[in-house]
Chains A and B, each alone.
Chain A
Amino acid sequence: MIAAVVPAAGRSQRMGRPKMLLPMGGQTLIGRVVTALREGGAEPVVVVAPPEDSDEGHAVAAAASIAGALIVIPRIRPKEMRHSIEIGIETLAGPTPPLHVLLAPGDAAGITRTVVIRLVEESARHPAAIIVPRRGPSRGHPVMLPWAIAAGVSSLPTGQGVNALLAGGTAPVIEVPVADSGIAEDIDTPEDYRRWQEQEPENVASTDRLEPGRAASFKPENRVQVPVMFFALARDRAGCTAIDLELAGGSRVRDLRAELARRLPGLAPLMQNVMIAVNEEYAGDEAYIMPGSRVAVIPPVSGGAGGRSPARWVELRTGGSDSP
């Protein structure tokens, strides 16, 4: 079993906005990295998201979750990437840890399924080695660590990053040459992002096309379209079972409520009394609507005599005061 750990808790200071949420090929950047890892054979993919009280934490967690990642939300924002990695590795520890762990920063747009598959193949041949892609003149992401070495990251001397392992003192390091697109594989600045969009549009449009040429046109998504399902009274009032709703990029559940009330006046009087589910989970008004989100309008359910609500249930699940 090969797992992956994706640190994605950083502040995006040089980008100036949450870079994990940048649109990339019909996904978010974090979603794209998770997808490439999973399609390449990593399972589970653990994403260490920003803390709950950060502005972007919920949206990053939702985007990674949609792509199939396991989400870890630290209580406070890790100071360095190494700490995020340690948190991710810790969640993989247990009676049956993975054989290998891939480390992949959440902004490493250059990670593709093909690269991951190459590393997985190489790790089967050299199970005790650290395996790293070579992309033209430099080493790239992700880095494959045998479990014993991954588990030792927390014992590295203070101040050392995970890169210290790549010096070769701990285990042999094997490089796997991969296609080099010639542009930075991490996206740190608006300039990096612009270059991904403009110089190599096909990189942005597809996870797997590294060779330049066939230009797939890419436009940043400033609109998202999501399917919205209606149930029970909401369906009667909407007059249909589902619609496709177009929203501005970055819209939240409360924007979706307003847009539904505008589009379907029959539904408007109900809107303040229904719950909204996103991807089969009750979602608060601040939750983001992402490309690929499945939305449902949930009128109060049939029991309800106890006077409790799904919001109450959220409390129960997150360790509220209600004990048996």
Chain B
Amino acid sequence: MIEITSSPIDHASVTERLRANHAGAVCTFLGTVRDLTGDRKTLALRYEAYPEMALKKLAELETEARKRWPIIELALVHRIGDLGPGEVSVVVAVSTPHRHEAFDACRWLIDTLKDVVPIWKRETWDDGKEEWVHPGLGDRRGGQTE
């Protein structure tokens, strides 16, 4: 299952859906909103997607992962919109016959997802400043906007 949603993600039911008789392992990764980055405090994160391309890229991730590992079921669900600390922003889950495949696939999926799927986040810090998080854009060029 591949989804981009603006509603809270029911990660337990996503995981539950992946259980299968041929699966010896289900591995679920949850990305959650952290309230501290160094000594700066996050009040909220806003996630924004380029939905058409993000869905296409998620589907490509599924195809590629299925080529690499014997995946039985797979879920890639990303939330967009405003999230508070502790909330689930992304769920990556796979079921496979053996645990090492499930760990490997899950890790590859989340790492690659974060590199290639066009979804961005905007921090609202507790000092009132907001900025886009764009790795690789130094402070001089990118980052802080208001």
Residues of A within 8 A of B (CB): 229, 231-233, 236, 269-270, 273, 277, 280-282, 296, 298-306, 308-310, 312-313, 316-317, 323-324
Contact = CB atoms under 8 A, between A and B. Distances in A.
A10 to B, nearest CB: 31
A299 B119 CA distance: 10
Interface in B83-138: 104-105, 108, 111-122, 132-137
27 contacts: A236-B145, A270-B137, A270-B142, A273-B134, A273-B136, A280-B50, A280-B56, A281-B53, A296-B118, A298-B53, A298-B118, A299-B120, A299-B134, A300-B135, A300-B136, A301-B115, A302-B47, A302-B120, A302-B133, A302-B134, A302-B135, A303-B114, A305-B135, A306-B115, A308-B112, A316-B64, A324-B68
Contact of A233 (B69, B104, B134): B134
B137 A231 contact: no
Contact of A232 (B56, B113, B132): B132
A300 B121 contact: no
B48 interface: yes
B115 A273 contact: no
A230 to B, nearest CB: 10
B139 interface: no
Contact of A303 (B53, B115, B141): B115
A301 B119 contact: yes
B115 A299 contact: no
A317 B64 contact: yes
Contacts of B116: 282, 301, 310, 313
Contacts of B104: 324
B132 A299 contact: yes
Contacts of A317: 60, 64
B10 interface: no
Given A317-B60, A324-B104, A305 B132 contact: no
A231 B118 contact: yes
A270 B141 contact: yes
Contacts of B134: 232-233, 273, 299-300, 302, 304
Nearest to A237: B145
A188 to B, nearest CB: 37
Interface residues of B, number: 35
Contacts of A300: 134-137
A68 B118 CA distance: 23
B60 A231 contact: no
Interface string B36-53: 000000000001101011
Nearest to B49: A231
A233 B143 CA distance: 8
Most A C-beta atoms less than 10 A away, residue of B48, B64, B116: B116
A269 B141 CA distance: 7
B45 to A, nearest CB: 9
Contacts of A231: 48, 50, 118, 120
Contacts of B108: 324
Contacts of B118: 231, 277, 296, 298, 301
A304 B60 CA distance: 18
B115 A323 contact: no
Given A231-B120, A232-B132, A236-B132, A299 B142 contact: yes
A276 B68 CA distance: 28
A139 to B, nearest CB: 41
B115 A229 contact: no
A304 B135 contact: yes
Contact of B113 (A233, A298, A303): A303
Given A233-B142, A277-B50, A323-B68, 5 more contacts: A273-B136, A273-B142, A303-B115, A313-B112, A313-B116
Contacts of A281: 53, 56
Given A231-B50, A302-B120, A316-B64, A309 B115 contact: yes
Nearest to B133: A302
A316 B115 CA distance: 12
A305 B120 contact: no
A312 to B, nearest CB: 7
Nearest to B143: A233
A300 B136 CA distance: 7
B102 to A, nearest CB: 12
